[in-house]
Amino acid sequence: MAQREEEEHTAEEQRKAQEQQVADEKHAAEEKRATEQREATERKKRDEAQAKRVAEEKHMADLKRQSDEKKKAEEARLSHQREQELRRSLEEEEHVMAARSSGALASWQAQITARIQRAWLRPPPPRRASIAWYM
């Protein structure tokens, strides 16, 4: 009987050891699954952060490109405007120089002078009596 009790005791210990081993394996599998899930969550967060960072960098690059294009267009517009003003100024100067070099300006000035002189009413010559009165 003692042998039988010992066999039962040994069997009981083996069963408990097997149950403990199964529980340990189950616990290890759960820990592994939790670790894998945690790592997957962290990897997903990292990937999302990376995607967000890449999108932000792309957005900033687009804004910079648009700003550069706008600045370049404004510089081109201002350059064109300055060039047009310079051309207009040169044309006006050439026109003035052409008018001065032709006899038209001298003729026009002579006509104005003649008209003023014709229209000018000369005051009567001073009388002697009026001169004495002032003295």
Task: Read off the pLDDT of residues 62-115 as tens digits, 9 standing for 90 and up.
Answer: 999 999 999 999 999 999 999 999 999 999 999 888 877 777 777 888 899 999
Give the model's pLDDT for residue 39. 95
Q: How far apart are CA 15 and CA 77, in angstroms?
A: 91
Phi, psi (rounded to 5 degrees) for 122? -80, 140
Longest dimension (CA), the chain: 180
Q: CB of 99 within 8 A of CB of 105? A: yes
Q: Is 125 left (phi over 0), alpha (psi -120 to 50) or beta?
A: beta
Helix (H), strand (E), coil (C) string for 57-77:
HHHHHHHHHHHHHHHHHHHHH
For tokens 């039988």, what's the residue? 4
Give the model's pLDDT for residue 107. 85
Structural domain spans, the chain? 2-100
Task: Read off the pLDDT of residues 24-47 as tens digits, 9 standing for 90 and up.
Answer: 999 999 999 999 999 999 999 999
Q: How far apart are CA 43 and CA 35, in angstroms?
A: 12
**pTM of this prediction?**
0.44
- CA-closest candidate to residue 112, choices 123, 100, 124, 104: 104
Q: How far apart are CA 87 and CA 45, in angstroms?
A: 62
Task: Read off the pLDDT of residues 67-82 as tens digits, 9 standing for 90 and up.
Answer: 999 999 999 999 999 9
